[in-house]
Structure 1
Amino acid sequence: MFRSTFFAAGLFVLLTGTSFLFVDKMVLTHKVVVEEPEPVREPEFRGFLGMTSLNDDKQEVLNPPDWAAFSMMSIGAVTMLYAAALPKRR
């Protein structure tokens, strides 16, 4: 069970890192169900490692740096290798 869990998590991180190679920025949209006043975000607020910001339409924009793709791919590959090296249960 641990072997397949680590392999799936490593594959997810590897594929997410691979998708960062081809993407300059992603605009994240969400549907607002309840119309409440939105909280005011400070301009110096750093989201997920400083990769997110707000655009003019108040949508979050994920702008990953160049190194994020390679680091995520390497973390995913090492996790998958760890899953392959785990001893089999008897």
Structure 2
Amino acid sequence: MWRAFFLAVGAYCCFLGVEALLLDQAVLKPQVRGGQQIAPARVISPPDWAPWSLMGAGAVVVLYSFTIPKRVTG
């Protein structure tokens, strides 16, 4: 169970890193209620270091997840 959890977390981090590498910015929809805009659209721009850090950390966690069964049963 722990192996699957860490594998999923690592893969998710790698996926977010690739996504941040490909996208310059993400614009979220504004909140609208009754035809009137309540909150403005939110723009998210990842910093330059984020894609590489997420992909690197995700890769380390994925590699770590492959060693967990040996440690638990070992």
Structure number with higher helix proportion: 2
Q: Say which structure is richer in strand.
A: 2
Q: CA deviation at 1:33?
A: 5.5
Q: 2:62 aligns with which of 74, 80, 90?
A: 80
Residues 48-59 of structure 1: pairs in structure 2 closer than 5 A: 58-59=40-41
SS in 2 for 1:86: helix
Secondary structure of the residue aligned to 2:49 is: helix
Q: How does 1:5-20 map to 2 (within 5 A)?
A: 5-20=5-20
**Cα RMSD for the two superposed structures:** 2.5
Letter matched to residue 75 of structure 1: A
Which runs of 5 or more structure 1 residues have no equivalent in the other structure? 40-57
Q: Once the two structures are aligned, what percentage of the paired residues are identical?
A: 38
TM-score (norm 2): 0.79
Q: Which aligned segments of 4 or more residues in structure 1 are displaced greater than 3 angstroms?
A: 30-34
Task: Count residues with an aligned counterpart.
Answer: 72
Q: Does 1:71 align with 2:58?
A: no
Structure 1: distance between partners of 2:62 and 2:20 = 19
Deviation at 1:31, TM superposition (A): 4.9
SS of 2:27 mapped into structure 1: strand
In 1, the alpha carbon distance for the partners of 2:19 and 2:65 equals: 22
